[in-house]
Amino acid sequence: MRSSVLARSALAVFVLSFAPSPAAAYVRTVTSAGVPTHWKTPCVLMEFSLGAFPAELDAAGYLDAAQQAGSAWNQASLDGVSRCSNVALTVESVPDVGGQVGRDGHNRLIFRQDAWCREPPPTDPKEPKCYDASALAITSVFQLKNSGEILEADMEVNAVTFTWGDFVGHPEQIEVSTHDFQGAITHELGHVLGLDHTCYTPATLADGTLVPRPKDNLGNPVPDCDADNPPAITQATMYVSVNSPSAEVGLRSLSPDDVQGMCDIYPFASDFVCLPPSTPQSDSGGGGCSLPSSGHGGATAGALVLLALAALLRRRR
C-alpha cells in the first residue's frame, strides 16, 4: 500500500491508495548537453562506510536497510514476476568512517556526522563550503556530458541535523527529526541509476541560470511540485516530497513508473555482462543540475549534484 500526501496550507491530508496505478511516466536526469544519463552496464557497487554510524540502529541494521533499498531496484519488473531489467545494485560495508566525494573509482555511501559540509571543500570561493541544513541527503553523479554515461556516484547522508531509523522494525523511532533510512536510500538510489524527480522545483545553477524544466519519458514537461499533483506523480519513489511516516516507508516500494524507468533504461538481456565504466574521454564535462551545482567536478567528468531529499521527507506536524 502506498501513501500520498497533499499539503494544503499547514495541514497534511493523507490519501491512501489501495490499488496499484498503471505506469504513466518517469523522468530521467540529463547532462548539461541534454543527454539522458545512464550506466554502461547497471552493475553498481556502493561502498557503505560503517566505521561510525548513528546510534538509532546498529551497523547490521543500516547495512540491511541499504541492501534492501538496492534490492527494490534490482527486482524491477512490470508484473512482479518476470524481470524486465538488468539492474544489479550491490551495497557492501567498508570500515571507513567517511570519505571524500569525487572521481576516485569508489561509489560511496557516507554518513556525515561531524559537519554537513563538502569533502573536499570547493575550490571556487563562490561555492558554499557546507550544504543546506534542510537537505537530508545529497547524491553526486559524475558522467560524460555528451554521451550521458555515468562514471561514478557518491551519496552523503545528513546525520548532523537529522537522525535515521527503521520505521517498520522500530516504530517507536517515528519522531519529528527522525527519518526512515531504507525509504530515503531507495529514493537516492533512483538518482544513482539516472532518474530525476517527478515534479519541478525552480532552482538556479552556479552560473545563475535557471535549471530547465525536465520532461518525462513521454515528452511532457513535468508539473510544478505542489499540493495538487496527482497520485501517479506523488506515489512514485522519485517524488520530491512526502509528509508522513507511512509515506516515508512507501518510498521503499517502487511505483509502476519507477519500474518502467528501469525496464526502459536497462532492459533485460540474457547475455548481460557487467563491464567497468569507460575511461573519461574529451567529451566529459559538467553535467546539468536539479538544484545549485556543488562544484564537485573534476578535470574529466562533471558533477551532477541532486539535492535528492532537500525538503524531501520534511513532515509538517
Most confidently modeled range among 173-177, 215-219, 286-290:
215-219
Cα radius of gyration (the chain): 18
Contacts of 313 (CB under 8 A, 6+ apart): 136, 179, 180, 183, 184, 241, 242, 248
* C-alpha neighbours within 13 Å on the C-beta side of residue 152: 23
Instruction: Report residue 273's pLDDT band, with 50, 70 and 90 as the boundaries.
Output: confident
8 A C-beta contact, residue 65 and residue 166: yes
3-state SS record for the chain: CEEEEEEECCEEEEEEECCCCCCCCCEECECCCCCECEECCCEEEEEEECCCCCCCCCHHHHHHHHHHHHHHHHCCCCCCCCCCECCEEEEEEECCCCCCCCCCCCEEEEEECCCCECCCCCCCCCCCCECCCCECEEEEEEECCCCCEEEEEEEEEECCCCEEECCCCCHHHCCCCEEEHHHHHHHHHHHHCCECCCCECCCECCCCCECCCCEECCCCECCECCCCCCHHHHCCCCCCCCCCHHHHHHCCCCCHHHHHHHHHHCECCCCCCCCCCCCCCCCCCCCCCCCCCCCCCCCCCEEEEECCCECCCCCCC
Task: Find the distance separating the first CA and the last CA of the chain, reported in whole Å.
Answer: 22
Q: Which residue has the higher pLDDT, 114 or 20?
A: 114
Would you say 303 and 297 are in contact if contact means Cβ atoms under 8 Å apart?
A: yes
Over residues 90-136, the pLDDT tens digits come to 999 999 998 889 899 999 999 999 999 988 888 888 788 899 998 89
Section 223-242 average pLDDT: 88
Percentage of the chain beyond pLDDT 90 is 54
Which pLDDT band holds residue 279 (cuts at 50, 70, 90)? low
Is the CATH code 3.40.50.300 the one for domain 2-9+25-306?
A: no
Question: What is the model's pLDDT at position 280?
Answer: 54
Residue 230 has pLDDT above 70, yes or no: yes
Most confident range, picked from 28-37, 278-287, 300-309? 28-37
- The x, y and z cell numbers of residue 248, run together, are 516515508
For 161-214, how does the pLDDT look when each residue is reduced to its tens digit (9 = 90+)?
Answer: 999 999 999 999 998 779 999 999 999 999 999 999 999 988 877 677 888 999
Mean pLDDT of the chain: 79
**How far is residue 12's CA from residue 224's CA, in Å, rounded to a whole number?**
18
Assess whether pLDDT exceeds 70 at residue 76. yes
Residue 316 reports pLDDT greater than 80: no
pLDDT at 310 over 60: no
Residue pointed to by grid coordinates 518517469? 26
Chain centre to alpha carbon of residue 172: 26
pLDDT tens, position by position, 28-45: 999 989 999 999 999 999
Mean pLDDT of 157-162: 95
Q: Do residues 302 and 316 lie in contact, with contact meaning Cβ atoms separated by under 8 Å?
A: no
pLDDT score recorded for residue 209: 84
Calculate what percentage of the chain has a pLDDT beyond 70.
78
Q: Which residues pair with 4 in a beta bridge?
A: 15
- Bigger pLDDT: 295 vs 199: 199
Contact 243, 315 (CB under 8 A): yes
- The span from the CA of 222 to the CA of 261, in Å, is 15
pLDDT at 107 (0 to 100)? 96
Under a CB-based contact definition with an 8 Å cutoff, are residues 188 and 137 in contact?
yes
User: What value does the mean pLDDT take over residues 52-73?
Assistant: 96
Statement: the pTM of the whole predicted model exceeds 0.85? no
Q: Is the pLDDT of residue 313 over 60?
A: no
- For the ranges 127-141, 246-260, 286-300, the lowest mean pLDDT is seen at 286-300
Joined together, the cell numbers standing for residue 18 give 489501495
Domain spans, the chain: 2-9+25-306
pLDDT at position 154: 96
Q: What is the pLDDT of residue 6?
A: 23
Q: Is the pLDDT of residue 18 over 50?
A: no
Residues 37, 38, 44: CA angle, nearest 5 degrees: 135
